Amino acid sequence: MKPRSPHNEPPPSPALRIQALESLLIEKGLIDPGAIDEIVELFEHRIGPRNGARVVAHAWADPQYKARLLANGTQAIAELGITGLQGEDMIVLENTPRVHNVVVCTLCSCYPWPTLGLPPNWYKSAPYRARVVIEPRRVLAELGLELTADTEVRVWDSNAEIRYMVVPMRPAGTEGWSEERLAAIVSRDAMIGTAVPTVEPREGARHR
Amino acid sequence: MNGIHDLGGMHGLGPVVREENEPVFHEEWERRVFAVLNLTMAAGQYNVDELRHAIERMAPARYLESPYYEHWLHAAEDLLDAKGVVTQEELAQRAAEIARRSSAEPLRTDEPPRGAAASRRARDAGRGRSK
Amino acid sequence: MPALPREQVRTAIRAGLSARAEVAIPPRFTVGERVIARNINPTGHTRLPRYARGKRGVVERHHGGFVFPDTRAHGLGDQPEHLYNIRFEALELWGAGAPERDGVYLDLWESYLEGAP
Q: State pLDDT tens for residues A87-146.
A: 999 999 999 999 999 999 999 999 999 999 999 999 999 999 999 999 999 999 999 999
CB–CB of A154 and C103 under 8 A?
Answer: yes
| Residues of A with a known catalytic role | 105, 108-110
**Contacting residues of A for C101, CB less than 8 Å apart:** 150, 152-153
- Closest in C4, C50, C73 to B42, CB measured: C4
Instruction: Output phi, psi for C56, to 5 deg.
Output: -95, 140
Of C113, A5, A68, nearest to B89 by C-alpha is: A5
Residue partners of A169: CB distance under 8 A and separation at least 6: A95, A96, A97, A196, A197
Confidence class of residue A15 from pLDDT cuts 50, 70 and 90? very high
Is residue B80's pLDDT more than 70?
yes
Q: C45 to each of A183, B104, B128, C18, how far by Cα in Å?
A: 40, 44, 35, 20
Q: Determine the Cα–Cα distance for residues B25 and B18; give it in Å rounded to an integer.
A: 15
Q: Determine the Cα–Cα distance for residues B2 and B19; give it in Å rounded to an integer.
A: 30
AA letter at B116: A
AA letter at C12: A
Q: Determine the Cα–Cα distance for residues A136 and A131; give it in Å rounded to an integer.
A: 7
Is residue B118's pLDDT more than 90?
no
Q: How long is chain B? A: 131
Find, in chain C, the residue whose alpha carbon is nearest to that of B48: C73
Kindly report the number of other CB atoms within 10 A of residue B68's CB atom.
21
Q: What is the largest CA-CA distance in chain B?
A: 50
Burial A20-39 (b: 16+ CB within 10 A, else e): bbbbbbeeeebbbbebbbbb
Confidence class of residue B127 from pLDDT cuts 50, 70 and 90? very low
Give the per-residue pLDDT at A9: 60
Give the per-residue pLDDT at B32: 98
Is residue A39's pLDDT more than 70?
yes
Of A66, A174, A165, nearest to A116 by C-alpha is: A165
Give the per-residue pLDDT at B105: 66
- Closest in B16, B40, B92 to A4, CB measured: B92
Q: Check: CB of residue C26 under 8 Å from CB of residue C81.
A: no
CB–CB of A35 and B14 under 8 A?
Answer: no
Confidence class of residue A200 from pLDDT cuts 50, 70 and 90? confident
Give the per-residue pLDDT at B128: 36
Is residue B116's pLDDT more than 50?
no
DSSP B97: H
Q: Is C20 exposed, middle or buried (0-12, 13-18, 19+ CB in 10 A)?
A: middle
Instruction: Please tell me the pTM assigned to this model.
Output: 0.91
AA letter at A88: E
CB–CB of B117 and A41 under 8 A?
Answer: yes
Q: A73 to each of A64, A65, A141, A193, B5, how far by Cα in Å?
A: 13, 10, 28, 17, 29
Q: Check: CB of residue C83 under 8 Å from CB of residue C109.
A: yes
- Closest in A88, A152, A160 to C17, CB measured: A88
Q: Determine the Cα–Cα distance for residues A128 and A119; give it in Å rounded to an integer.
A: 12
**Contacting residues of A for B25, CB less than 8 Å apart:** 40, 44
Q: What is the mean pLDDT of residues B107-126?
A: 46
Instruction: Output phi, psi for C11, to 5 deg.
Output: -60, -45
Dihedral sign computed on CA atoms, order A105, A107, A113, A118: positive
Q: What is the mean pLDDT of residues B31-58?
A: 97
Q: Check: CB of residue A99 under 8 Å from CB of residue C87.
A: no
Of A153, A156, A124, A125, nearest to A141 by C-alpha is: A153
Give the per-residue pLDDT at B106: 57
CB–CB of B43 and C3 under 8 A?
Answer: yes
Confidence class of residue B107 from pLDDT cuts 50, 70 and 90? low
Positions of chain C with pLDDT lower than 70, given as ranges: none
**Contacting residues of B for C75, CB less than 8 Å apart:** 50
Q: Determine the Cα–Cα distance for residues B47 and A126; give it in Å rounded to an integer.
A: 24
Dihedral sign computed on CA atoms, order B1, B6, B8, B12: positive
Q: Determine the Cα–Cα distance for residues C27 and C61; give it in Å rounded to an integer.
A: 12
Q: Which of residues 97-156 of A touch B (CB under 8 A)?
A: 106-109, 117-118, 120-122, 124-134, 139, 142-143
Q: Give the neighbours of chain C: at least 3 Cβ pairs within 8 Å.
A: A, B
Q: What is the largest CA-CA distance in chain A?
A: 68
Q: Determine the Cα–Cα distance for residues A38 and C9; give it in Å rounded to an integer.
A: 7
Residue partners of B95: CB distance under 8 A and separation at least 6: A3, A5, A12, A16, A17, A19, A20
Q: What is the mean pLDDT of residues A61-73?
A: 98
Is residue A148's pLDDT more than 50?
yes
Q: Check: CB of residue C6 under 8 Å from CB of residue A34.
A: yes
Reduce the DSSP state of residue C61 to 3 states and report it: strand
Min Cα–Cα distance to chain B from C58, Å: 20
Q: Check: CB of residue A92 under 8 Å from CB of residue A65.
A: no
Confidence class of residue A85 from pLDDT cuts 50, 70 and 90? very high
CB–CB of A38 and C99 under 8 A?
Answer: no
Q: Determine the Cα–Cα distance for residues A77 and A115; give it in Å rounded to an integer.
A: 8
For an interface test with A, the pick among B19, B39, B63 (most A C-beta atoms closer than 10 Å) comes out as B39
AA letter at C81: E
Min Cα–Cα distance to chain A from C101, Å: 5
